[in-house]
Amino acid sequence: MTKKTTPPKQSIGNSHFLHEACQALGYDEQVFALLAGASREFKVQLPLLCDDGSLKIFYGYRVQHHNALGPYKGGLRFHPSVDMQEAHTLAALMSLKTALVKVPFGGAKGGINCDPRSLSRRELESLTRAFVEKIHRGIGPNLDIPAPDVGTNEQVMAWIQDEYSKIYGYTLGVVTGKPILIGGSQGRTEATGTGVAIVMQQHARHQAQKLEGKTVVIQGFGNVGTHCANAFKRLGMKVIAISDSKGALFDEAGLDLHAICQHREKGKPVSTYPQARQISNQDLLKLPCDFLVPAAMGNVIDGKTAREIKAKVVVEAANSPTTFEGDQVLMERGIPVLPDILANAGGVIVSYFEWVQNMQQMPWEKNQITEQLTTKLSKASDEVFAVATGKQCSYRQAAYLIATQRLRDAVATVTI
Ligand code: NAD
Cβ of 184 less than 6 Å from ligand 1: no
Task: Verify that 206 and 276 share a domain, yes or no.
Answer: yes
The predicted pLDDT at position 16 comes to: 94
* Predicted structure pTM score: 0.96
Nearest to 195 by CA among 223, 175, 219: 223
- Does residue 275 share a domain with residue 145? no
Q: What is the pLDDT of residue 416?
A: 64
Do 127 and 226 lie in one domain? The reply is no
The answer to the question of residue 326 being in a domain is yes
Whether residue 346 has its Cβ less than 6 Å from ligand 1: no
Atom 37 of ligand 1: nearest residue by CA position: 149
The answer on 326 and 195 residing in a single domain is yes
Question: For the segment 262-288, what is each residue's pLDDT rounded down to a tens digit?
Answer: 999 999 999 999 999 999 999 999 999
Report the mean per-residue pLDDT for the chain: 95
Question: Is the domain of 42 the same as that of 121?
Answer: yes
Any domain includes 221: yes
Provide the phi-psi class of 334: left if phi over 0, else alpha when psi is between -120 and 50, else beta: left
Total count of domains within the chain: 3
Whether 374 is in a domain gets the answer no
Do both 83 and 4 map to the same domain?
A: no
Q: What is the pLDDT of residue 259?
A: 97
The reply to whether ligand 1 has any atom less than 6 angstroms from the CB of 153 is no
Same domain, residue pair 145 and 81:
yes
**Is the pLDDT at 12 greater than 90, yes or no?**
no
pLDDT tens, residue by residue, 178-235:
999 999 999 999 999 999 999 999 999 999 999 999 999 999 999 999 999 999 999 9
Structural domain range at position 158 = 37-172
Judge if 142 and 223 occupy the same domain.
no
Do 230 and 282 have their domain in common? yes
- How far apart CA 327 and CA 323 sit, in angstroms, is 6
Both 328 and 210 in one domain: the answer is yes
How far is ligand 1, taken at its centre, from the CA of residue 223, in Å? Answer: 7
On whether both 245 and 307 belong to a single domain, the answer is yes
Q: Please check the confidence at residue 173 and state whether its pLDDT lies above 90.
A: yes
Residues contacting 373, CB < 8 A, separation 6+: 187, 191, 194, 195, 198, 346, 349, 350, 353
Question: Among 73, 97, 109, 178, which one carries the catalytic annotation?
Answer: 109
Residue 340 lies in a domain: no
C-beta of 176 in contact with ligand 1 (< 6 A): no
Tell me, using a 6 A CB cutoff, whether residue 64 lines ligand 1: no
Residue 305 in any domain: the answer is: yes
The answer to whether residue 97 scores a pLDDT higher than 50 is yes
In tens, the pLDDT along 132-164 reads 999 999 999 999 999 999 999 999 999 999 999
- Is residue 310 scored above 70 in pLDDT? yes
The rounded Å distance from CA 126 to ligand 1 centre is 23
User: Which secondary-structure segment (H or E) carries 75?
Assistant: strand 72-78
Q: Please report whether residue 186 resides in a domain.
A: no
End position of a domain, from candidates 294, 309, 335: 335
pLDDT, average across residues 360-385 = 97
Ligand 1, from 63, 244, 268: best to mutate by most atoms within 8 Å of Cβ?
A: 244
User: Does 109 participate in catalysis according to the annotation?
Assistant: yes
Of the three residues 172, 203, 235, the one that is the final residue of a domain is 172
Q: Is the CB of 197 under 6 A from ligand 1?
A: no
The atom of ligand 1 lying closest to the CA of 269 is 11
pLDDT digits 0-9 by tens, 20-36:
999 999 999 999 999 99
